[in-house]
Amino acid sequence: MDADRRREIIATQKPDIQWANEPRMGSYYGPEEFEAVRAEMERCNRPDVGFDAHNEVSHEFEDKFAEWCGARYALTVNGAGSGLDMAVMALDLQPGDEVIVPAINFKAAALAVLGQGGKVVWCEVDERTFQADPADVEARITDRTRAIFPVHMNGMAAPIDAYVEIAENHPHPRFGPPKVIGDAARSCGARLKDRRVGSWEWICVFSFHTMKNMTTLGEGGMVVTQEAGDAERMRKIRGFGGDVWGTNYKMTNVQAAVGLVQLGRIDTMLDQRRAVAAERNGLLAGIDPIELPYVPEDCWHSYYLYTCLVPEEWAGEKRDRLLQIMREEFDVPCVVANPPCYHSNQFLFNNTDHSDLPRSELLGQRLFCVPIHPQISSSDNEYICAALWEAVERVKTG
C-alpha cells in the first residue's frame, strides 16, 4: 500500500465502530438468537418448569456440538475456566505430579493445575505458530508428568498429534502416557489435518465468553471428551458430585438455546473471520519488517486473533511505540496476547519456576494482535491496515 493511498484511506475511511483489541463482542446475534431466548424463556416461565439447567435444549446443544467438532461426549459448562478445572480434576493429580503448560498463554490452564495441587512445568512455544513447541515439551517431560496441556493459541490448532506421540514415548510409571488436554477457548472450529480441535484430545475445553468465536450470552463453555467414564465423572463434578467431589458448573438452558443457534452459524462466522484475514494478508503484503500470521499447511486457522510479530530489534520499546501510535493517533488499539502468563498473574509468578524461558520472554516483547472480527467491512479493514503501515513507517523513521 503506497503512502498516498494509505493517507487517503486514513483521511476518509475512519470506522464508525472502534475495532479495539480483542473486540468485546466476538460473535454476533441475529433474530434467531433473540427468538431462541424468547421461546426458551416462555417455555421455562411456569411454576412447574423453571429455569433449571439440562433440559432437552441443553442435551441437544451438547449432542450437536460433539458431532460438529468430532468428539464423542460434550458437556455444557458456565465457562472455560470451570471446564479446565474439571479436566484437571479428572486427572486425579497426586502430590509432586507435573503438567506441562506453554508459557505464552492465558492464565486459566496453569491456574487449573495449581488449583489441583499439581506442579506447572512451563514450556516454550514455536516462534511462528505460538503453539507449545513439541521439541521443548519432550525436553521437559519427566517420569512425574501426568499431562501435556497445550492451548490452541489465538485461533489456530496446536500440533496435538505430536504431543500424543511424545506422551506415548514417555509413559508415567503408574498412570501410563500423560494425557493431552486441549484449551480451545480461542479456537472453536480450528482444524488440524482436516479434523476440528476437540476430536484429538483426551479432554478439550471451549469458551463461549462474549469475545469468543461463538458465544452464549456473555459466559459459557463446553467440555468434550472421547471417554465415557471421564464424561460421567465430569458430569458429576459439574453437578454437586456423588461418589466424587463436585459443585455447580452448569450452564443455563436459555444460554444453551442461544448456543444451539450459534452452532448453526459458527461456520459462516468463521468464514467471515477468514475472509477478513485473507483480505488483510493482501493489504499488508510487504509491510516490512512486520511478520504476518504464519499458518502451517496442515492447519485451518479460525482467526480468533490476527497475531503479528515485530523483529527482534524492535522487541519491547519499539513494539510498544508502534502500539502507542496505533492507539493514540489512529484509534486502533491492539492487544498483546499474550506475554508469558506468569507476568499477568501474581499467583502464577509466585508458585511456578519461570527461570528458563528465554524464547517466551522475547516473544512476549515482539508479538501483537491487530483487531479482527467477522463484521469488519472491507473499508474498515483497509483503514486498520493503512494505520498499521503508517505506524510502522513512523517507528522506522524514529
Ligand X SMILES: Cc1ncc(COP(=O)(O)O)c(C=O)c1O
Residue 151 as a binder of ligand X (CB under 6 A): the answer is yes
Q: Do the Cβ atoms of 101 and 113 come closer than 8 Å?
A: yes
How many residues at the interface with ligand X, by CB under 6 A? 12
Q: Which is nearer to ligand X, 6 or 186 (CB)?
A: 186
CB atoms within 10 A of CB 139: 10
Question: Which grid coordinates are listed for 296?
Answer: 502451517
CA distance 18 to 22: 11
Stretch that binds ligand X, among 90-98, 180-188, 292-300, 359-367 (CB under 6 A): 180-188
Q: Output 91 or 151, the one with its CB closest to ligand X.
A: 151
Beta-sheet pairing, 73-77 with 306-309: unpaired
Does 326 participate in binding ligand X (rule CB under 6 A)?
no
Nearer to ligand X, 299 or 387 (CB): 299
Near ligand X by CB under 6 A: residue from 40, 97, 126, 183: 183
What is the DSSP code (8-state) at residue 335?
A: B
Burial class (CB in 10 A: 0-12, 13-18, 19+), 353: exposed
Of 9-17, 76-84, 358-366, 378-386, the window that binds ligand X (rule: CB under 6 A) is 76-84
CB 125 within 8 A of CB 309: no
Task: Count other C-beta atoms under 10 Å from residue 320's C-beta.
Answer: 16
Going by C-alpha positions, the residue among 213, 389, 390 that lies closest to residue 300 is: 213
Q: Is 102 in the site for ligand X (CB under 6 A)?
A: no
Of the pair 199, 216, the CB lying nearest ligand X is at 216
Residue 185 lies near ligand X (rule: CB under 6 A): yes
**Under the criterion CB under 6 A, does residue 85 sit at the interface with ligand X?**
no
Q: In degrees to the nearest 10, what's the CA dihedral of 31, 32, 38, 41? A: -150
By the rule CB under 6 A, 182 interacts with ligand X: no
C-alpha cell at 297: 499447511
Q: Contact between 101 and ligand X (CB under 6 A)?
A: no
Which of 76, 131, 199, 207 is the binder for ligand X (CB under 6 A)? 207
The residue within the footprint of ligand X, chosen from 23, 26, 81, 340 (CB under 6 A), is 81
Q: Which is nearer to ligand X, 81 or 177 (CB)?
A: 81
Residue 146 grid cell = 501426568
Nearer to ligand X, 106 or 383 (CB): 106
Q: Which is nearer to ligand X, 131 or 207 (CB)?
A: 207
Displacement of CA 91 from its chain's centroid (Å): 22
Residue range at the interface with ligand X (CB under 6 A); choices 79-87, 117-125, 286-294, 325-333: 79-87
Q: Are strands 221-225 and 73-77 parallel, antiparallel or unpaired?
A: antiparallel
Angle at 299 between CA 19 and CA 108, to 5 degrees: 60
C-alpha 40/C-alpha 173 separation (Å) is: 50
Measured from the Cβ of residue 363, the count of other Cβ atoms closer than 10 Å reads 23
**Region 15-74 residues binding ligand X, contact defined as CB under 6 A:** none
Question: Binding to ligand X by residue 301, rule CB under 6 A?
Answer: no
106 is an interface residue for ligand X by CB under 6 A? yes
Residue 156 near ligand X by CB under 6 A: no
| Residue 367 contacts ligand X per CB under 6 A | no
- Contact at 8 Å (CB) between 277 and 306? yes
Q: Which of 108, 166, 261, 270 binds ligand X (CB under 6 A)?
A: 108
46-69 burial, b at 16+ Cβ within 10 Å, e below that, comes to eeeeeeebbbebbeebbeebbebb
Residue from 9, 36, 71, 80 touching ligand X (CB under 6 A): that is 80
Q: Cα–Cα distance between 132 and 323 in angstroms, integer?
A: 26
Q: Does 186 bind ligand X (CB under 6 A)?
A: yes
Query: Which of the stretches 10-18, 179-187, 235-243, 279-287 binds ligand X when contact is defined by CB under 6 A?
Result: 179-187
- Residue 276 touching ligand X (CB under 6 A): no
Shorter beta-carbon distance to ligand X: residue 27 or 207 = 207
Nearer to ligand X, 109 or 387 (CB): 109
- Binding residues (CB under 6 A) for ligand X: these are 79-81, 106, 108, 151, 183, 185-186, 207, 209, 221
